[in-house]
């Protein structure tokens, strides 16, 4: 895609924030909008001339609407913000502060279900009229299983059974009732009119159930196509990204130009992490090739972990070299990168979910600088040694690694939207790619193994490059290359790398004639 036509979401790195755990401004132990505002300079200070911020271009806020649960995925009011996070004015001030810095903001939109405490459901239980058919009811327990083999049926106080795929506290909405869709349209317009830049859609694959089809129903896919047609006239630049936790063949069915703008590539995330854990460049290459086959425009969401998954630092058992290699691969690769808050400092966490969403570790001050009160969830015990304050002062830290990679990606459109070709390496653990755009040609390389590799070469059968000799400029690392000869058909044959590649060593070089 020509650079001029690139939509904004393919030119930014997203940062996922759990508001409750990011920064508390009033000492109640719960993160809030004013707390995020106070830390925006950490994410993006709005000055492109500085390089000490993360240069994040967009924020994804996890649920920030009223809810009886800590996580917020059971909404009780779709038109308000959760008072635990601040007022409506606080949220609008947060939006304004982000937009002043050039940061876009998308919010979680839970379209599949509500809370059982939502007034719609409370009314639905007490009357067969009104909101009753906004949910899925049965006079008896149907005994049918849900989309992942669970029992999705729950008995209400009225003696009837209702469908809630996730649990009884989250009754599914009934999209066979047109008024549900009409209401979701109103909700979408409400937030877009307020200035929100789009939505991350939770549990997108479960809207319609018919018979044995409990997920990925053709009516669900069609719903998102219709929703797109509704929201794009309100804001043509509104961005939608869907959580369809499935393989790429399934997720691609939901994608634009007719449906959602982007889908998270869960397969890719696992293959990047796994390919680095047990070094296999071919696994990572195949995963990117599959993702680009399903999403030829490169508009899939790339990530390493999120609020539902083991944190990257825990996955690698705090082996920071591995964490750096995985970050290098996905922050220099195709796709739309999402960083889960704290990933950049090595925040740890394993299931249950609360442990994946612990407070951010900002400093060596009490409670890691997250709050002056008692945090809603205990802060990880390693906070005195692992926090932003200390890592920002350490040039070898994981934070500096992430910061510099994001800055580099922002400076080079080729890393964001350039074409992708993988080299064949004589060393199994060497992952190398050719990235080409109209204005630039780059080669990225990392030895994802621990042992050093000697006398490695790279080969590429053919590329779009013109034949001839190219000068080499190091953008990241020291490649020890001065020139590269490319054949007339774009072929690169046994390109010699440094005599010795240390484990984890990374390079990015730019070619010019």
Q: What are the pLDDT digits (tens) for 195-228? A: 999 999 999 999 999 988 899 999 999 999 999 9
Reading phi first (left if > 0) and then psi (alpha if -120 to 50, else beta), residue 503 is in beta
pLDDT tens string 294-340: 999 999 999 999 999 999 999 999 999 999 999 999 999 999 999 99
pLDDT per residue as tens digits for the range 21-52: 999 999 999 999 999 999 999 999 999 889 89
DSSP notation for 430-486: EEEEEEEETTEEEEEEEE-SSS-EES-EEEES--SSPSEEEEEEEEES-----EEEE
CB 270 within 8 A of CB 237: no
- Name the catalytic one among 243, 271, 367, 505: 243
Of residues 53, 108, 116, 202, which has the active-site annotation? 202
Distance in angstroms (rounded) separating the CA atoms of residues 280 and 126: 58
Specify whether the CB–CB gap between 491 and 461 falls below 8 A: yes
Nearest partner of 62 among 39, 33, 98, 26, judged by Cα? 33
Q: Mark 93-103 as b/e (b = at least 16 C-beta within 10 Å).
A: ebbebbeebeb
What is the pLDDT confidence band of residue 2, given thresholds at 50, 70 and 90? very low
- Per-residue model confidence as pLDDT tens digits over 146-155: 999 999 999 9
Active site residue 202: yes
Question: Is residue 9's pLDDT more than 60?
Answer: yes
Is residue 257 reached through a cis peptide bond, with omega within 30 degrees of 0 on the bond before it? yes
Q: What's the gap between Cα 13 and its chain centre?
A: 9
The predicted structure's pLDDT at residue 464: 82
Q: Are the beta carbons of 217 and 208 closer than 8 angstroms? A: yes
Yes or no: say if 422 and 288 are a contact pair by the CB < 8 Å rule.
yes
Q: Do the bridges between strand 58-61 and strand 104-110 make them parallel or antiparallel, or are there none, so unpaired?
A: parallel
Q: Tell me, what's the pLDDT at 208?
A: 97
**Proportion of the chain above pLDDT 70, given as a percent:** 99
pTM: 0.96
Q: Annotated catalytic, 243?
A: yes
Domains of the chain with CATH codes: 7-112+175-411 (3.20.20.80), 119-163 (no CATH), 416-512 (2.60.40.1180)
Q: Phi/psi zone of residue 314: left (φ > 0), alpha (ψ -120 to 50 degrees), beta?
A: alpha
């Amino acid at each position: 895609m020509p650079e001029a036509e690139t939509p904004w979401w393919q030119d930014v790195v997203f940062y996922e924030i759990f508001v409750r755990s990011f920064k508390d401004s009033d000492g109640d132990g719960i993160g809030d909008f004013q707390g995020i505002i106070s830390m925006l300079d950490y994410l993006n200070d709005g000055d492109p001339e500085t390089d000490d911020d993360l240069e994040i271009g967009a924020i994804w806020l996890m649920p920030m609407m009223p809810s009886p649960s800590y996580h917020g995925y059971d909404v009780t009011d779709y038109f308000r913000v959760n008072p635990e996070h601040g007022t409506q004015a606080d949220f609008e001030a947060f939006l304004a502060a982000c937009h002043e810095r050039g940061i876009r903001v998308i919010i979680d939109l839970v379209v599949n279900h509500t809370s059982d405490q939502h007034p719609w459901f409370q009314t639905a239980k007490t009357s067969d009229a009104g909101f009753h058919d906004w949910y899925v009811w049965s006079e008896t327990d149907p005994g049918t299983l849900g989309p992942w083999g669970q029992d999705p049926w729950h008995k209400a106080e009225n003696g009837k059974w209702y469908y809630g795929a996730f649990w009884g506290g989250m009754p599914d909405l009934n999209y066979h009732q047109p008024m549900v869709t009409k209401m979701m349209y109103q909700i979408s317009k409400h937030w877009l009119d307020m200035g929100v830049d789009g939505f991350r859609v939770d549990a997108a694959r479960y809207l319609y159930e018919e018979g044995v089809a409990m997920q990925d129903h053709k009516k669900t896919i069609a719903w998102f196509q219709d929703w797109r047609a509704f929201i794009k006239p309100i804001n043509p630049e509104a961005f939608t990204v869907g959580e369809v936790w499935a393989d790429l063949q399934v997720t691609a069915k939901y994608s634009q130009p007719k449906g959602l703008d982007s889908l998270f590539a869960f397969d890719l995330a696992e293959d990047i992490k796994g390919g680095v854990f047990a070094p296999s460049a071919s696994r990572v290459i195949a995963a990117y090739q599959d993702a680009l086959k399903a999403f030829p425009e490169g508009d899939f969401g790339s990530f390493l972990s999120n609020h539902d998954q083991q944190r990257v630092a825990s996955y690698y058992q705090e082996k920071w070299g591995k964490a750096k290699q995985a970050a290098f691969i996905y922050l220099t690769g195709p796709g739309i990168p999402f960083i889960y808050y704290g990933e950049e400092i090595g925040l740890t966490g394993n299931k249950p979910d609360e442990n994946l969403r612990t407070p951010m570790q900002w400093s060596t001050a009490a409670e890691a600088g997250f709050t002056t009160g008692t945090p809603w969830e205990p802060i990880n015990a390693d906070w005195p040694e692992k926090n932003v304050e200390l890592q920002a002062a350490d040039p070898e830290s994981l934070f500096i690694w992430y910061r510099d990679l994001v800055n580099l990606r922002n400076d080079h459109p080729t890393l964001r939207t350039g074409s992708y070709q993988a080299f064949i390496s004589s060393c199994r653990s060497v992952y190398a790619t050719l990235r080409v755009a109209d204005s630039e040609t780059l080669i990225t390389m990392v030895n994802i193994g621990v042992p050093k590799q000697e006398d490695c070469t790279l080969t590429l059968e053919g590329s779009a490059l013109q034949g001839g000799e190219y000068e080499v400029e190091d953008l990241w690392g020291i490649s020890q290359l001065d020139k590269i000869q490319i054949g007339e058909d774009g072929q690169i044959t046994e390109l010699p790398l440094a005599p010795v590649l240390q484990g984890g060593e990374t390079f990015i070089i730019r070619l010019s004639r």
